[in-house]
Amino acid sequence: MKKSVLSVLATCALMLGLGVLAPTAASAAPYCGIRWGSLPETVSATTSAQVENLRSGRHDCYDRLVIDLRGEVTGYSVSYVSRVATLGSGKVVPLSGGADLQILIEAAAYDQNGDATYSPRTPSRAVNVTGYRTFRQVAYAGSFEGQTLIGLGVRARLPMRAFVLDGPGDGSRLVIDVAHRW
């Protein structure tokens, strides 16, 4: 009996020494269960979808930007960049906040006749995000050659994710979530 208790204690001591039983920093629970990162999110494909609207929402753990589209969006790129520049001219889009997210959608903000399907009253403040924990500014940076560019100024380079949801109707939505913290 003594020998088996000593054997168990010795095994536990060895495992603690090897770090097998010791808690590590990596085992700490992530903020709100979020396991996103800050690397680019890209899906390459062309589409005939058209941007119709931008809207946002506040959640307990993240801020959300939704881009509503007529048709199915199949291509987009969301990434942190040193600066957002307009399509075609390359003019810098000044954004508030400590980090800039560039959202490039493979969908035009105009129809086959060249008429705008999305045209905010104030492009530099396309969506009101006053009072948000993470978002600082949403800017419509234009649509050119079948692509639309949105600049999203955020408080800091924080975890983010991007994904597409179906609907409503035959439309789709590109969703960008940015966590409030790491």
User: What SS3 state is found at 125?
Assistant: helix
Assess if residue 5 is contained within a domain: no
pLDDT at 169 > cutoff 80: yes
Assess if residue 28 is contained within a domain: no
What are 173's strand-pairing partners?
A: 68, 165
Assess if residue 144 is contained within a domain: yes
pLDDT score, position 46: 72
Number of domains in the chain: 1
Q: Output the furthest CA–CA distance in the chain (Å, rounded).
A: 88
**Least reliable range by pLDDT among 2-11, 53-62, 163-172:** 2-11
- Cα distance between residue 74 and residue 45, in whole Å: 5
- Cα distance between residue 125 and residue 129, in whole Å: 9
pLDDT score, position 174: 97
Beta strands 76-81 and 172-179: pairing type? Answer: unpaired
pLDDT at 18 > cutoff 60: no
The overall average pLDDT reported for the chain is: 88
**Each residue of 87-122: pLDDT tens digit?**
888 999 999 999 999 999 999 999 999 999 999 999
pLDDT score, position 141: 97
Parent domain of 48: 36-179
State the CATH number of the domain containing residue 101. 2.60.40.3500
- pLDDT higher at 2 or 59: 59
Assess if residue 169 is contained within a domain: yes
pLDDT at 22 > cutoff 80: no
Cβ proximity of 163 and 65 under 8 Å: no
